[in-house]
């Protein structure tokens, strides 16, 4: 990898020109811009490395840190090992996950890979369904009360 990088840089290196002194008399002419070209290429390579490697990694790290700070009890998360569980206890260093009935594990907070994306939607749909069922039960109670008054 390093060798191919050096070869690529050598393509941009200007060719050596024979001086007048090499042809049989006079002074030799030094090639111009060699140092400036190399410094420019080095700068371009540093910019490429920054924008393609370093900056995206820093962005991912900030997102991971903010996700770890936003963890709360009751959230469904997935660990870097692939274990899915509900957060039952959390502190600065560890997270306790409920992965099955009466099965809890302690995981380092850094090993939480992310919040399970489907869990929040499922929980919301369950809550909405529960509210709709409660509303239906209330409506049935009201209807039953009206029917009893009408029959009397």
3-state secondary structure the chain: CHHHHHHHHHHCCCCCCCCHHHHCCCCCCCCCCHHHHHHHHHHHHHHHHHHHHHHHHHHHHHHHHHHHHCCCCCCEEEECCCCEEEEEEECCCEEEEEEECCEEEEEEHHHEEEECHHHHHHHHHHHHHHHHHHHHHHHHHHHHHHHHHHHC
Q: What is the mean pLDDT of residues 4-8?
A: 70
Over 70: is that where the pLDDT of 116 sits?
yes
CATH for 72-151 is 2.30.30
Q: Where are the domains of the chain?
A: 72-151
CB atoms closer than 10 angstroms to residue 97: 23
Q: What is the mean pLDDT of residues 24-36?
A: 63
Categorize the per-residue pLDDT at 55 as very low, low, confident or very high, splitting at 50, 70 and 90: very high
Over 60: is that where the pLDDT of 141 sits?
no
Categorize the per-residue pLDDT at 152 as very low, low, confident or very high, splitting at 50, 70 and 90: very low
pLDDT in tens, 70-104: 999 999 999 999 999 999 999 999 999 999 999 99
């Amino acid at each position: 990898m390093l060798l191919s990088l050096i070869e690529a840089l050598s393509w941009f290196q200007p060719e050596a020109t024979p001086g007048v002194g090499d042809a049989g008399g006079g002074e030799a002419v030094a090639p111009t811009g060699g140092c400036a070209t190399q410094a420019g290429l080095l700068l371009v390579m540093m910019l490429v490395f920054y924008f393609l490697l370093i900056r995206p990694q820093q962005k991912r790290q900030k997102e991971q840190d903010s996700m770890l700070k936003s963890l709360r009890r009751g959230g469904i998360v997935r660990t870097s090992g692939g274990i899915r569980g509900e957060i039952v206890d959390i502190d600065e260093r560890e997270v306790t996950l409920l992965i099955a009935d009466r099965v809890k594990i302690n995981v380092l907070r850094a090993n939480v890979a992310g919040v399970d994306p489907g869990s929040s939607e499922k929980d919301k749909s369950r809550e909405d369904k529960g509210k709709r069922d409660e509303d239906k039960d209330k409506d049935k109670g009201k209807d039953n009360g009206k029917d009893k008054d009408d029959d009397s």
